[in-house]
Structure 1
Amino acid sequence: MAEPRATTVQIACGHQLEHNSTIYVPNFVATMEKISGKMRRTGFGTTFTGTGLDTNYGLAQCYGDLSLLDCVLCYAEARTVLPQCFPYNGGRIYLDGDNAVCGNRTRKNSSFQAATKQAILTAVQDAPSNKGYARSKVSVSGTVNESAYVLADCWRTLNTSSCKACLENASSSILGCLPWEEGRTLKTGCFMRYSDKDFLNKEQRNESSKGNVIVLVVAVVSSLIVFVVGIAVGIYILKHRYIQKKRRGSYDAEKLAKSLRRSSLNFKYTSLEKATGSFDESNKLGQGGFGTVYKGVLPDGREIAIKRLYFNTNIEQRISTMK
């Protein structure tokens, strides 16, 4: 009867880049997979993968009124969207929530506002002692079929007092949405929503065998999607590094060539004369343009090829090392 519960309302990414792409991606995939197993059993999961700066931490929790099947479907959606935050090292995705979102289509009268305040107060009181989850419904006085519906949820990592404090803070925010017909608030640690429409899911204690099969299928498919996303990111990283390496290689070759050009050997004629045995005929390699080519041996043992030019023998002779 109300707005969809599975709508992605907000994705918040961190501002710090991951430490090591090669390690970050498999750690992220492993963390999502570990949580997946826990979500299938309890609808809540925390875990971590890795060590030091490359440690990847994860937390996931479904709203308390979701069936296990709906919970797994919700998580399957969330885990495939989070990679959008890459290459930043953190992110959150909220389905059906925001800091303060008010439905502003219909203004409600004072009777509805009073019923909403009572429903919110009841939920805030009940949730901390009920594993952080409560739902309430209060009929609007003077009407036949109108009620105020409220859902409150704390993260399971909060203790009783922290849950209560978070929900009290959330209730102060959400009351600011009155007199509009609907409002939501999402804090770091808790969620609350009220509406004049029954958005609450029917509480289900047991899952059918068919539902369990669907849960397993969804879990496998979502795992494959995250795995493929991980591979895609990995390929991107490797390709980027390959391109960078080629660029660096090209730059290094350029530097080497310049270095070689700068360090080309230059010798006086007397040095070349000694290296070739006074340009002995036995060291003659051949005749080329502008001169004769001789083989010579430098004092350090290197063999060189020398072209004796038909110009002034006092000029410096430019030579290249012979392999």
Structure 2
Amino acid sequence: MDIVTPLIARQRYAAVVNGTGTASVYAFGECMKDLSPNDCNLCFAQCKTQVLKCLPFQLATRGGRVFYDGCYLRYDDYDFFNESLSSQDRTVCGSKDFGGNNTVFGANAIELVRNLSVQAVKNDGFFVGSVTFSKGNVSVHGLAQCWEFVNGSACENCLENAVSRIASCTQKEEGRVLNAGCYLRYSTQRFYNNSGPDPVPGNGGDNKLAVILATSAVALLLVFSLVAFFVRRKLLQKRRERKQLGALQVAVNKSKLNFSYETLEKATNYFHESNKLGQGGSGSVYKGTLPGGEAVAVKRLFYNTTQWVDHFFNEVNLISGINHKNLVKLLGCSITGPESLLVYEFVPNQSLLDNLFDKMLSP
């Protein structure tokens, strides 16, 4: 999975093969195309943590897959990259019933996802849109996406299958189909991140859909200009962060404080909830047991901006060299995984909470 992470960060999808022969492992991950780069990276970090719960390989279930609304991750022991349908495909209906005319709502929802599926095949495997119909002024929003290597007729077949399966959800306010090669969703709530226009009402009582599928040339030019501006600014920010992180990694390696991400994952049972000690403003803390039997407290830092670098660097430098009866000792850190970790000595008393969860002691 570590090979997948930098590819996701760079191109928003990744397909890798590790090992040879019968020991080969195939892994694929992709973000929804409406997601920002930051949201994509954060979603994939969560995805990676969850898919590791499928390990080790079990008899007859040698693969694992995780769907989030923003991203998808799968691994298996065979080449599935062009696979559009499989026996593990799922339909997930929402829990809340639609409160109006189910027949009209269902027909409109199906027409929406069918139109989106057709347009997705024509538009690089991705399309979003929304509709409204006159009775009740109800809007329905939808998203259709095929994975990177599922295109052409394979994408079309996958989405056609998804449309037929999602019909079982139309009594509910939302529904999803999670296929091997594509993802389809509708909802009465707008859930995607595009900046297109609002839904257009239907004509009279015929409940015909008016799907928002295009924008004007002027609007597109404005959007492209804004995207270019923010992408350039983001690249400059990432360049500064990489420079700071490189200096930090050298400092960590020289000080012999470095722990591998995989070691800490295993020590905390992959950050299982039963090992969670609590959560503060900068991260969650888990109890872990190192291979030698030493109990430690592992802090998962939340980050997606340059402020994280400053926080991490300050915490490592200020605490690692201090020994005091009222301060939890910093044993090391990990900065090579999808999230950064601090490793403290485990002290089974109140001082652990006070120091790791940023709480002030009352006078």
Task: Report the TM-score, using the length of structure 1 for normalisation.
Answer: 0.55
Give yes or no for contact 1:137–1:149 (8 Å, CA) kept in 2.
yes
Aligned to 2:30: 61
Shift of 1:101: 1.7
- Residues 49-81 of structure 1 show CA distances to partners (whole Å, capped at 9, x for unaligned) of 222233222100111221111111111111122
Q: Trace 1:1-323 onto structure 2 (pairs within 5 A).
A: 32-88=1-57, 89-96=62-69, 99-107=90-98, 108-109=100-101, 110-144=103-137, 146-202=138-194, 205=227, 206-207=230-231, 209=233, 213=238, 225-226=261-262, 228-229=264-265
Amino acid at match of 2:264: V
Distance 1:196 1:216, change over 3 A: farther
Amino acid at match of 1:149: H
Aligned to 1:289: none
Aligned to 1:27: none
Q: After alignment, is 115-124 or 80-89 more displaced? A: 80-89
Structure 1: how far apart are the matches of 2:231 and 2:262?
26
Q: After alignment, is 196-205 or 66-75 more displaced? A: 196-205
Corresponding residue SS for 1:71 = helix
Give yes or no for contact 1:79–1:226 (8 Å, CA) kept in 2.
no
Aligned to 2:295: none
Question: RMSD of aligned C-alpha atoms?
Answer: 3.6
Structure 2: how far apart are the matches of 1:114 and 1:141?
14
More helix by share: 1
Identity across matched positions, percent:
31
Corresponding residue SS for 2:3 = helix
Amino acid at match of 2:124: K
Give yes or no for contact 1:72–1:215 (8 Å, CA) kept in 2.
no
Greater RCO, 1 or 2 (C-alpha within 8 Å, sep 6+): 1
| 5+ residue gaps, structure 2 | 73-88, 196-222, 250-258, 270-288, 293-363
Give yes or no for contact 2:105–2:170 (8 Å, CA) kept in 1.
no
Distance 1:68 1:224, change over 3 A: farther
Give yes or no for contact 1:115–1:147 (8 Å, CA) kept in 2.
no
Corresponding residue SS for 1:193 = strand
Structure 2: how far apart are the matches of 1:207 and 1:225?
30
Structure 2: how far apart are the matches of 1:80 and 1:156?
22
Distance 1:175 1:80, change over 3 A: same
Shift of 1:111: 3.5
Give yes or no for contact 1:100–1:183 (8 Å, CA) kept in 2.
yes
Shift of 1:224: 5.9
Corresponding residue SS for 1:100 = strand
Aligned to 1:247: none
| 5+ residue gaps, structure 1 | 1-31, 240-323
- Residues 107-150 of structure 1 show CA distances to partners (whole Å, capped at 9, x for unaligned) of 24244333312211111101112221111111122344x31111
Amino acid at match of 1:102: C
Aligned to 1:306: none
Distance 1:138 1:227, change over 3 A: farther
Corresponding residue SS for 1:106 = coil
Shift of 1:183: 0.8
Give yes or no for contact 1:69–1:214 (8 Å, CA) kept in 2.
no
Structure 1: how far apart are the matches of 2:240 and 2:5?
10
Corresponding residue SS for 2:47 = helix
Give yes or no for contact 1:80–1:226 (8 Å, CA) kept in 2.
no
Corresponding residue SS for 1:200 = coil
